[in-house]
Structure 1
Amino acid sequence: MTASSGSPGPTLSESFARWIAALSFDRLPDEVVRMARRCLLDTLGCALQGSTTPEAQLLRKVRDDLGGAGPCTVWGTPGGVAPQAAALLNGTHAHLRELDDIGGGGHAGACQVPAAVGAGELSGADGRAVLLGLVAGHEVSARLTDAASYDTMTLRGWHTTGVYGALGAAAAAARVMGLDAATTAHALGLAGSYVGGTWAFMADGAMSKRVHPGKSAETGLTAAVLARRGVTGPAQVLDAAWGGLFATYVPGEADGLAPLKDLGEGFRIMNKGIKPYPVCWGINSAADSMLTLRAEHGLAPADIRRVRVILSEMSRRMIGATGVETVLDAQMSVAYALAWIIVRAKLTLDEFTPEALRDPTARALMARIELVVDPAAHGERQTVEVETTDGRLLSSRVEIPRGHWEAPLSDAEVRDKFLALARPALGPSTEAAADLVARIETPGALPELIALLRG
């Protein structure tokens, strides 16, 4: 019986599992396969860049603590490690610089690509299976937001990447391994039993946010492995009236029937955004607005008297940081991002170095940026108003930021982003890795790619 509907029939996770198990690569439209490849390429690039950061040095020690040699790969490093360690580190690396994709219920790529590739290494599956797994995972994690939206979960304090991300990762891993519907349902039940991830990191800039997609990848892959070996998970993990995810996390606010509406009509992976800037996606609307105003009016730091950012309460909680002490603080601060756009007319990794955090010009500009909550506003779009020293009042609002699926980066831009991010880790093999992803569904491409990722 479904707790959400009160009528006999499959539960929500069982319905998802039947769809996942029946999904066939040969029936995927070309544009869906293309999007799955884009997701794979972008996530690999973000993770490879992450593997070269100071934080990755800490994680390398964690890898050693979590076990010795194993069948799976931490991208950008030699040798093999235990599957859980690979998923944890790859997902965390992908999120270390806030450049990983959006859509699919959060940072879906950073959760699902490590789980899917790890499942492929464990089971000997090919690149077609990995792409199919990404399509399956995005369908699950994205549709969960139909029951309880990103806004609803965020205002409750839940980071959807740490909640929905693990279920999407389990779906991806289960499909890569070729699990049947009943076993896939157990994998979803197990994953849903262990999800979590809160916004408490906003109080002090803690690294826990970086680890959320890694934990989701680890949880999802582990759940699929457990289910494959006969461990069972709760069928009503999502829709049970007592103990179900929605009743527990967002009591009284979820529509438990919504995720299955029109399942099988279209593919949610098509609603996938690829980031152009290394900041929380919630900043991208304001960033594009400030880039436009600066370019159109030739603004320089000396021209700025005051900036007002009009935003929702949810956005204020997410991107309203003003006490910027760490890179994470900066990447969650719309004031910091706008200050650097005024200074340099760009927003890249160069603006998030230890030296940039201490820059006196940017710091002075941050003090002139005011955040104003509009009680009627919802979501992650902002209006940016600039008052100049010569009395001009300028305003801009971008509803569809660059990188959104309705304003997507071109395939060439996604490739260029990968090359720039991956080159520090892969060196002369970077172009070859991108070429392999472009034909990942062909025989032998996945193991060849994994060999390059090990250096």
Structure 2
Amino acid sequence: MVESTEAEKSGVQVPGLTAKLCEWVGALQLSDVPEEVVTRTKYLILDGLACAIIGAHLPWSETGTKAVLSMEAAGSCSVWGWEKKIGPLPASLLNSSFIQSFELDDFHSEAPIHSSAVVLPALLALLQHTESPVADTQFLIAALIGYELGPRVGLGLWGGDILSRGWHSGAVFGPAAAAAATSKLLNLQPGKIEEAIGIACTQACGLMSAQYGSMVKRMQHGFAARNGLFSTLMVSQGYTGIKEVLETPYGGFISTFGNGGTREPPTTPHRIIENLGSAWELQNINVKPYASMAATHGTVDCIRKIQELHPNALSDVDEVEEIIVEMSGPAFKKGGWVPERPVKSTSAQMSAPYAAACQIVDGAVFVQQFAPAFLEREEIWKWAHKFRCVHNPEFDRDKKTMWGQKMTTSFKNASREKIEVFVPAPRGVKPLLTNEEILEKWRKLTEDIIDVDVRDKIEGLVLGLGGGIEVHQIVELLGKQTQQLASFKS
């Protein structure tokens, strides 16, 4: 357990920060981790693979895959769902883009990162690339480290603050996590892990303008997965990287990305290693119940609450004057807007008004709502334009309030009483989805996309990790051809 001094908590650089982190990574064994944390890791892995399976043949995934395959030679690493093999770096890039392809994958509530999209593609590509046998316990502890470190790196930059400033936070936090996980899989020593993280951090980048309709939004966590894996492979061959990359005052990761921070102090580097090994950020990773960006989930749940308490209140769009949604700063900047028509799936999924309109009209915000044939429905757009999202600074106070949203619905009939509802945190954040609910999501997402026998084998192997299973079987099964969702076929 690592505790912080008062000076470190005030934003002062933490001496030896990167080395302390890497010593922990190098020393950690599965027996050091509480059983419930190990079990949760397995369910997070299963959820990430479900998202990849459904995402491998969506239109934008096919465009990206065909482009990458046209420039890459055959190799040893599976492109999931394609029955193709290429080199480890492009494989990790593509497979990550599949996990991130439909806004269904996990996220950390305070330090936004989609951990599965960073960790799993890098680890499974390395697994196929390396000639050395890898025990399932070694794979499991490596994955657990990746899930734990991504959010912790983000906490050093106040998590959501960097997102509010326009960085795609997970693509910034992710390279270090992928480097640490893959270094652990190769059993690198702490000094080498530090160098791998140094090479990874110098490649960190990602811009949130990608959310406005581009395909590359789906691939930016893939850059993190690829770059982290690249860093480890380079170090394993004797190439040297940056030492003390997290804490270096000039040009270091925290000092550089913290420049312009809006919080006081602007950075909190002590949080990267605070209570390391006793408090698990992995347990704060959220699994999504809705196929939309995380900040839209509170808006959806506000609508669900109205539908529960006032079943007929939203039955006629023409009777509603306006729906005001009060949000935290990060939620407002990322999701408090209405896309322009014609809309792409990406933009629709990033918009709180659009997602909420789907809940009003369909009573659901899942895969079907964002299929191309469903995007231009007039009734959805009528409802979407009834929403006005506003920033409420009260929700910015701390991590306990940042997920809160308040919704006020007013009606054209002035004598009709306004409806006010408040959601302190959306479903999936508080409460977290249970392991049983994650298993249900896995089966629902993979239905009709992969053969039932293949699905059941993957499920059994993932949930059996740590019991002596053959990990290579998982990635070989993932490489088998999958189907495109019927609603996304042109």
TM-score band by shorter chain is over 0.9
Q: Residue 108 in 1 paired to residue 115 in 2?
A: yes
Residue 68 (structure 1) aligns with: 73
**Aligned equivalent of 1:22, options 27, 46, 55:** 27
Which residue of the partner structure matches residue 388 of structure 2?
A: 370
Q: Which residue among 198, 202, 205 is the counterpart of 1:193?
A: 202
Q: 1:376 to 1:105 in 2, by over 3 A?
A: closer
Report the secondary structure of 1:402's partner residue: coil
2:4 corresponds in structure 1 to none
Moved more, 120-129 or 92-101: 120-129
TM-superposition CA deviations, 1:62-109 (whole Å, max 9, x none): 331342222212222214221011110111111110000011641111
Does 2:449 align with 1:433?
no
Partner of 1:37: 42
Does the CA contact (< 8 Å) of 2:127 and 2:472 recur in 1? Answer: no
Aligned partners of 1:28, 1:122: CA distance in 2, in Å?
28
Question: Could you tell me which residue of structure 1 aligns to residue 137 of structure 2?
Answer: 128
Alignment partner, residue 231 of structure 2: 223
Question: Equivalent residue for 1:206?
Answer: 214
The answer to whether structure 1 residue 181 and structure 2 residue 172 are counterparts is no
Structure 2: state its 5+ residue gaps: 1-7, 397-401, 481-490
Partner in structure 2 of residue 277 of structure 1:
290
Aligned to 2:443: 419
Q: In structure 2, do the counterparts of structure 1 residues 49 and 232 end up closer, same or farther at CA, with 3 Å as the change threshold?
A: same
Task: Name which of 244, 247, 258 aligns with 2:255.
Answer: 247
Match of 1:408 in 2: 432
d(CA) in 2 for partners of 1:70 and 1:423?
Answer: 30
C-alpha distance in 2, partners of 1:81/1:420? 29
Matches of 2:238 and 2:470 in 1, distance apart?
31
Kept after mapping to 1: 8 A contact 2:403/2:424: no
Q: Counterparts of 1:254 and 1:350 in 2: how far apart (Å)?
A: 41
1:48-59 to structure 2, matched below 5 A, reads 48-59=53-64
**Whole-Å Cα distance in 1 between the matches of residues 271 and 437 of structure 2?**
35
Q: Quote the Cα distance in structure 1 between the aligned partners of 2:448 and 2:242.
A: 44
Structure 1 stretches of 4+ with a deviation exceeding 4 A read: 3-7
Give per-residue Cα distances to partners, 1:3-59, cap 9 Å, x unaligned.
98678x63x222111100001012222111111101110000101111020112112
Gaps of 5+ in 1: none
Distance 2:93 2:469 in 1: 26
Bigger drift between 192-201 and 373-382 goes to 373-382
Return the alpha-carbon distance in structure 2 between the equivalents of residues 287 and 277 of structure 1.
9
Partner of 1:409: helix, strand, or coil?
coil
Asked if structure 2 preserves the Cα contact closer than 8 Å seen for 1:105 and 1:145, the reply is yes
Supply the distance in 1 between the matched residues of 2:113 and 2:434 (Cα, whole angstroms).
21
Aligned length: 449
Deviations 1:127-162 (A, max 9, x none): 322221122123322222332112220122111111
Give the aligned partner of residue 13 of structure 1: 18
CA contact (8 A) 1:43 1:109 kept: yes
1:382 to 405, 413, 421: 405
Match of 2:210, SS state, is helix
Percent identity (aligned): 24
Partner residue in 2 for 1:356: 374
**SS across alignment from 1:395:** strand
In structure 1, the residue corresponding to 2:219 is in which secondary structure? helix
Match of 2:338 among 315, 318, 322: 322
Distance 2:443 2:412 in 1: 41
Query: Does the CA contact (< 8 Å) of 1:72 and 1:82 recur in 2?
Result: yes
Partner of 2:5: none
Which stretch of structure 1 is more off in the superposition, 269-278 or 289-298? 289-298
Separation of aligned partners in 2, 1:209 and 1:423: 26
Are the aligned partners of 2:13 and 2:247 in contact in 1 as well (CA < 8 Å)? no
SS at match of 1:214: helix
> Which of the numbers 101, 104, 121 marks the counterpart of 1:99?
104
Deviations 1:372-416 (A, max 9, x none): 222333234311122245613212222232112x41222222112
Query: In 1, Cα distance between the equivalents of 2:255 and 2:186?
Result: 30
Letter in 1 for 2:310: H
8 Å Cα contact 1:171/1:187 also seen in 2? yes
2:393 counterpart SS class: coil
CA distance in 1, matches of 2:13, 2:122: 34
State the partner residue of 2:324. 308
**Code of the aligned partner of 1:24:** Q
Secondary structure class of the residue paired with 1:168: helix
2:174 maps to 1:165: yes
Return the letter of the residue paired with 1:318. Answer: K
Per-residue deviation, 1:213: 1.0
Residue 309 of structure 1: SS of its match in structure 2?
strand
Amino acid at match of 1:372: V
CA RMSD of aligned residues (A): 2.0
Structure 1 window deviating more from structure 2 (183-192 vs 77-86): it is 77-86
**The residue matched to 1:339 in structure 2 has which SS?**
helix
TM-score scaled by structure 1? Answer: 0.93
- Corresponding residue number in structure 1 for 2:422: 397
Q: Normalising by the residue count of structure 2, what TM-score does the alignment of the two structures yield?
A: 0.87
